[in-house]
Amino acid sequence: MSSTIDNMTSVRPDLVEKVTGRAEYITDLMVPGLLHGFVVRSPAVHARIVSIDTSAALLMEGVVDVLIGADVASFGRWGVVLKDRPIIAIDRVRYVGEPVALVIAETIEIAENAAELVDVDYAELPRAATIRDALVDGAPLIHERHENLEDFYFKGGARPTADSNVFHTYRNNVGDVDAAEAAAAYVHEDRFTFPAISHFALEPHTVIADFKGDALTVWSGAQTPTAVQKVLSRLFGLQLAKVRVVVPFVGGGFGGKASVKIEPLVAAASWKVQRPVRVAQSISDSMLTCRRLGAEITIRTAVDGQGRIVASSAKLLLDGGAYSDTGSAVATKSANRIIGPYAIPNLRLEALAVYTNTVPGAAFRSIGGPQAVWAKETHMDNVAAAIGMDPAEFRLINLAGRGQRTRPDLRPLDVDMRELMGCVTQSVIFTAEGSNRSTRGLAVAATDPANTPIANAIVRLKVDGSVSVSVSSIEVGQGAHAAMARVAARTLKQPLSAVTTLRTDTDVAPYDWGTGASRSTVVVGLSVERAALDAADQIFDMVADVWECRKDSLSLVEGGVSTGSEVLTFHQIFHRTLGVDSGEVIGRGGVTPRSNNGALAESPLFWETSAGQVEIVVDEDTGEIHVPRYASAADVGRVINRVAAEGQDEGAAAMGFGHALFEQLEFEDGQPVNATPIDYTIPRICDVPPVFDTILVENGDGPGPGGAKGMGEGAILPVAPAIANALFSTYGIRITDLPMTPEKVWRALQKRK
């Protein structure tokens, strides 16, 4: 049993706590004097708040107070790119599920019961529930003004269009698309849609806030605690040092806990009652808090007589919901990612993020990537079919080579995409299953993550040789803390069992931009490596000074330092240097865009790439798609933790199967139809292919520790287009609107017949 536990902790130090139930999440925490909040949500799609009557709720025994918009109107609005969001609805609601009141009580049961007594009178307003509704002339404005926050969360800001529902427009043009199309042998255009999708983390959004005078402590499952700290500091007029954000165990995030979500609301509740307040949402509540942006995409490609792409243009319309959140970044990334890993001399790219009266859109694993790659890679097979070329060959002749730029303003490609294609095509072979036909489909992707190379780390090497690592990188189940421990252990030449990565607390952990964009292993890992080297240098200084050795003759070994002629233990070094058998050295490491002589400033920091090949069998009587085998390949530079890395790749692909086959957060005229865990379907273990090949290519050429690149998002991208391409290649049916449900497939088969 002990050897099993040792194996588990060597892979992930948090596993034992989680599988034994000892891990404490926010719902497990107890704070003295804790009250409980329950949110009253709008049933209206778009409406003016005529009145709110809280008197009956306040009379219920155990109710302490009820927070409404009038209480916090003076604090103004907040946001991370556009300042467009009130703490709680003040004069109107913009989507079903928007918080309009928060009942604060001694128990959650009392708060929930009292919430039924809050009486809100609404006056319906014209609505814009879809992208098309929001863009027509005379559409109701969801926000009348846009206050831009330049360089607040991302470098730059949103580019809204005045007097419209477009809150961000991104354009990038290369060459002359019109001239290239005029001279082309063939031009093909397609249109695709991509639905809103729920993050569906097992742990819903839960926050505890404790406002005491001019100080605020927040316990949150935040992926970006420094962003939460910054927003709360400015919203409530507090110094940053007076806002403490503590992140315990987090039960999944996938981007749904990035930037800032319900923290301002819970902090305002604590501010009003001057006691700690916890709001623990249900999964249904979280489904009404944020979701992946839906999209409508038009893509057009021109090729010459040899099948080489001479021009490509794309227009992407992203459904950002009622508030901007990080939708502007999603739109920009979608335009970058629809290029794919291809060498295209002429490009015309446009992406618009649009307000609608629906649940706010937010960052979600590989922001903008699934939407863009779904369109691009299904379109690639359509173009290949139209010109009579094998789709794999069509890709091969158009792929950018290693060191070649896909666009002049982006870093050269740092991967051999042909190698990745070869890995997956050699992996998946045809099998027979009954009378139904087996077929294969292929897709590839290249995305631009990690555009914010800003992080810090502290490594403390103690007298007994134990090591603690302090970072603001958040463990959301991806194994980040295990990776940081491995980097420190390898750099200091100490056993992994000697290293502990501490939970994040902004009072003690150094600044990091946030956990997302596949950046932690590279950016935070570099910071940990540098902090460990700084700690080692201080130890070497001690030895060189006291033992009168040359520093260049010293090396770290397990438990101490080798001088070449003897090994000095850390006990010996600290004792003799400090005069007592105690002590530590504190190493500091940081990364900025200026690090490595500015080499980290160019975007992207590395390319996150993926190739996927799927084998499917279709039940032609029902339209149901079965996936017996899938192969995924990614160039990760260097694997830090193989078991965790393979799990990340497989987890991303499994999420991709959900996107491809059944996930969709549905709205009818702005009303959410299936925003409950009963009505919304996510992948189960039986939906994962029985044969799943995960291929991780290591070339050691990444910018991270040991030549690592980030990973964990890329494998989600090829799944949906690969399945759609498999359908097309054998059955001649092209599904252009996700998800590919049995009904859609069956109807397409009947139409084809």
Q: pLDDT tens digits, residue range 625-649? A: 999 999 999 999 999 999 999 999 9
- Residue 351 and residue 464 in one domain: no
Supply the pLDDT for residue 8.
57
Quick one: which H or E segment has residue 206? Answer: strand 206-212
> Side by side, which strands form the sheet with 555-557?
555-557, 560-562, 567-569
Model confidence pLDDT, tens digit, residues 179-203 = 999 999 999 999 999 999 999 999 9
706 located within any domain: yes
Reported as a single tens digit per residue, the pLDDT across 307-324 is 999 999 999 999 999 999
* Residue 7 reports pLDDT greater than 60: no
* pLDDT computed for residue 471 by the predictor: 98
Report whether 359 contacts 95 (CB < 8 A).
yes
Same domain, 394 and 433: yes
Q: Is residue 545 domain-shared with residue 609, that is, in the same domain? A: no
The verdict on 623 and 518 lying in the same domain is: no
Six token digits for residue 400: 């950018």
Is residue 571 domain-shared with residue 639, that is, in the same domain?
no
Q: Considering the chain, what is the average pLDDT of its residues?
A: 95
Residue 291 has pLDDT above 60, yes or no: yes
Sign of the Cα torsion 744, 749, 751, 752 reads positive
Token duo for residue 154 = 């991302």
CA Rg, the chain, in Å?
27
**Mean pLDDT of the region 430-441:** 62
Report the C-alpha gap between 695 and 472 in whole angstroms.
30
- Beta-bridged to residue 171, according to DSSP, are 350
CA–CA separation, 186 vs 312, rounded Å? Answer: 12
Using a pLDDT cut of 90, give the percent of the chain over it: 94
Name the band, by pLDDT with cuts 50, 70 and 90, for residue 14.
confident
Tokens representing 624 are: 């149901």
pLDDT value of residue 15: 86
Q: Check whether residue 418 and residue 282 sit in a common domain.
A: no
For residues 548-555, give the mean pLDDT.
95
414: Cβ–Cβ under 8 A, 6 or more apart, which residues? Answer: 402, 403, 606, 607, 635, 701, 702, 709
Domain of 276?
A: 26-125+200-287
Q: Are both 568 and 646 inside the same structural domain?
A: no
Q: Are residues 422 and 353 in the same domain?
A: yes
Q: Indicate the residue among 569, 598, 627 that finishes a domain.
A: 598
Name the pLDDT band for 744 (thresholds 50, 70, 90). Answer: very high
DSSP one-letter string for 419-477: HHHHHHHHH-----BTTBPEEEEEEEEEE-------EEEEEEEETTS-EEEE-----SS
- Whether residue 162 is contained in a domain is answered as no
Give the pLDDT confidence score for residue 437 in this predicted structure.
66
For residues 591 and 618, membership in a common domain is answered with no
Helix (H) or strand (E) holding 611: strand 608-619
What's the average model confidence in pLDDT over 336-351?
A: 98
- For residues 614 and 460, is the Cβ–Cβ distance under 8 A? no
Its pTM stands at 0.96
Cβ pair 623, 689 in contact under 8 A: no
Which long-range contacts link 430-436 to residues 24+ away (Cβ below 8 Å)? 430/615, 431/615, 431/628, 431/629, 433/617, 433/626, 433/628, 434/617, 436/617, 436/618, 436/619, 436/620
Domain count, the chain: 3
Residue 240 lies in a domain: yes
Does position 5 have pLDDT exceeding 90, yes or no?
A: no
Residues 280 and 359 in one domain: no
Asked if 420 contacts 697 with a C-beta cutoff of 8 angstroms, the reply is: yes
Residue 321 located in a structural domain? yes
Beta bridge partners of 104: 37, 65
744 and 674 in a common domain: yes
Of the three residues 549, 575, 598, the one that is the final residue of a domain is 598
Q: Could you tell me if residue 466 is inside a domain?
A: yes
Residue-level pLDDT at 564: 92
Rounded Cα–Cα distance for residues 562 and 397 (Å): 54
675-715 per-position pLDDT tens digit: 999 999 999 999 999 999 999 999 999 999 999 999 999 99
Of 598, 615, 634, the one marking the end of a domain is 598
Label residue 526 by pLDDT band (50, 70, 90): very high
- Is 610 within 8 Å of 633 (Cβ atoms)? yes
Could you tell me the maximum CA-CA distance found in the chain, to the nearest angstrom?
88
Q: Is residue 729 part of a domain?
A: yes
- In this prediction, residue 432 carries a pLDDT of 44
Q: Which residue has the tokens 């249900």?
A: 282
Q: Is residue 6 part of a domain?
A: no
Domain presence at residue 155: no
Residue 12 pLDDT: 78
Cα–Cα distance, 449 to 253 (Å, whole number) = 17
**Distance in angstroms (rounded) separating the CA atoms of residues 432 and 426:** 18
pLDDT on residue 451:
82
Instruction: Give the model's pLDDT for residue 516.
Output: 94
The CATH number for 487's domain is: 3.30.365.10
Question: Using one digit for the tens of pLDDT, what is the confidence trace for 356-381?
Answer: 999 999 999 999 999 999 999 999 99
- Encode pLDDT of 477-505 as tens digits: 999 999 999 999 999 999 999 999 999 99
Q: Which of 17-21, 70-74, 120-124 has the lowest mean pLDDT?
A: 17-21
| pLDDT surpasses 90 at 405 | yes
Separation of first and last alpha carbons in the chain: 59
For the domain that residue 223 is a member of, what is the CATH number?
A: 3.90.1170.50
Instruction: Please tell me the predicted confidence (pLDDT) of residue 481.
Output: 95
Q: What is the pLDDT of residue 16?
A: 87
- Is 610 found in the same domain as 514? no
4 pLDDT band, cuts 50/70/90, is low
Minimum mean pLDDT range among 6-10, 136-140, 608-612, 621-625? 6-10
| pLDDT 10s digits, 161-181 | 999 999 999 999 999 999 999
